[in-house]
Structure 1
């Protein structure tokens, strides 16, 4: 078991569990800061991170401190696009266990699915989804931890990592159809268009890569290894502290978000994914003042509002993504939640 080497005031989490982000996400960060003229002591000191925490990729960093160190590095190096450039040189192998979840998958499409499913074990309080949009997939990423408002550098870093996973198989000439960022357009925004080689839009609802499905067709991962993939996934689960940490509610919500498109979610399926017994999951949800059906409704409400605001899907397309077999069932549930139909809500908001 990992020992807790944190000194008082450091941001290392409890031994053997990840309640923030694994330190593999900062692989090579010290060298990159130095390369751009930054002072390591000032950058890490201001962000509240002990550089010793970066020595092991399986130790856990506080997510707020991690996002802050990226923002501070951008300020102190004078490189406004620090996260963008750091992400562009970030190879999948450097991500540690999460990187190998993708690299050991059978196909590139499976790699993206496995990467999205495993990401909550690598980093908590984060939305990450692979959304089917017909001829393309939308790869969404967004930090959801309250209080983390300055997160531009982290967003640009993460989409750069995702693009590099694609280019590991398709070559450096691969480009997404579009790139979306939630933050405002920076001064040097032309660099984003050049590095992604695609149209880039700012001020969007979420950070996203639009990936053409035809780019994935028949693409096998060169390092596919099903046995190693199973072992890597198991190691991530153990490090995440899934079976009882304070983030159980967030983990259960993430599991539901990934399962809804398969139909009506079951307690058995979610409990199995969290490696808990059904009775144990029910008891721990009660400790949060919820039963399983209430959590399902809460997740569905949040996803419904998000997709309706984006206006990228019709009501009939949205219903099955939320686990409803019929559009009418979704409309009835939405009216029960908000007193109006989905179409009425969208027309008022629009």
Structure 2
């Protein structure tokens, strides 16, 4: 099933349910055996830190066009999740399901509720938050740049509450093989698109840095993209178009700030590009923010 179809399905299920915790609990109670080779690789890990690193590294085999990052800053550990394609929206159920899954992994290692320092979601709240806040022990922050759980870094040393399941080395090898096969099957243009979107909000993205991240020379990257009929500049422009529209209709950022985030030299260049693409100015497009608009078009 394609990612947009999957997210649309679980969003419909969420909307039809009166249970405000449905999506969260579904992720939290999801058995690792149901997420295939990734779950198999997580199950034998003795510490939470090892399990979360495996989860972040191997997430692409579970879900395409998405990103999970894991980083430790001071005494806090941050596990973040994003769907890279801004055209797929809304995605409340998906975010709640995935953060619930991450929290479920933490629970396997005995992480108490008070070890959670922060929790945030991209989407805005659409229901009474009292049940969720009571269940989680805190009220999440909404309308953020990513979906994220922050826990005490000390919790990363927590060990499994039971004996490990499976052989860690053999399961890790199978996950590595799955990642290599996924890379082999994924067109270069699609990988470039994902890398550009993963670096959105960081200003100008250059072909040289993308080539380096792919382990290729610029010349090799150009040849590969030419063979697929997808020049780098066309991929970059499409990424800017989709992400810029999302920023316009889902945020209150200043136009000049959006221009810089997308890598434009100034607001005028940004306005011209969007007027050319949509036949309307950024100001006119922003009026669409009063509705929950999907930018799949």
Q: TM class by shorter-chain length?
A: 0.5 to 0.7
1:159-196 deviation digits (Å, cap 9, x = unpaired): 00001111112256574211101212232312222333
Q: CA deviation at 1:236?
A: 4.4
Q: Could you say if the C-alpha distance between residues 167 and 218 of structure 1 is closer, same or farther in structure 2, counting changes exceeding 3 Å?
A: closer
Take 1:171 and 1:177, find their aligned partners in 2: how far apart are those partners?
12
Q: How many angstroms apart in 2 are the aligned matches of 1:256 and 1:182?
A: 17
Equivalent in the alignment of 2:136: 196
RMSD of aligned alpha carbons = 3.9
SS at match of 1:129: strand
- Find out whether 1:270 has 2:214 as its counterpart: yes
With 153-162 and 246-255 compared, the bigger mean Cα shift is at 246-255
Of residues 212, 215, 228, the one that matches 2:155 is 215
1:227 aligns with 2:170: yes
Q: What residue is the counterpart of 1:16 in the other structure?
A: none
Name the structure 2 match of 1:260. Answer: none
State yes or no: 1:289 paired with 2:231.
Answer: yes
For each residue in 1:207-266, what CA deviation from the matched residue of structure 2 results, as whole angstroms up to 9, or x when unmatched?
Answer: 110021111136479346122211123124425654536522245558989xxxxxx979
CA distance 1:243–1:207, change in 2 (3 Å): closer
TM-score, normalising length: structure 2:
0.64
1:238: which partner in 2?
181
User: What runs of 5+ residues in structure 2 fail to find an aligned partner?
Assistant: 201-207, 252-260, 267-297
Residue in 1 that maps onto 2:15: 75
1:184 corresponds to 2:124: yes
Contact 2:118/2:140 (<8 A) preserved: yes
Matched ranges for 1:83-162 at <5 A? 83-105=23-45, 107-162=47-102
Looking at structure 1, the residues matched to 88 and 219 of structure 2 have their Cα atoms a distance apart, in angstroms, of: 34
| Kept after mapping to 2: 8 A contact 1:105/1:229 | no
Give the 3 Å change call, closer, same or farther, for CA 105–250 of structure 1 in structure 2: farther
Task: Provide the C-alpha distance between the structure 1 equivalents of 2:20 and 2:137, rounded to a whole number of angstroms.
Answer: 19
Q: Relative to structure 1, is the Cα distance of residues 337 and 101 closer, same or farther in structure 2, using a 3 angstrom cutoff?
A: farther
For the residues of structure 2 that align with 1:171 and 1:281, how far apart are their CA atoms?
Answer: 44
Structure with higher RCO (Cα < 8 A, 6+ apart)? 2
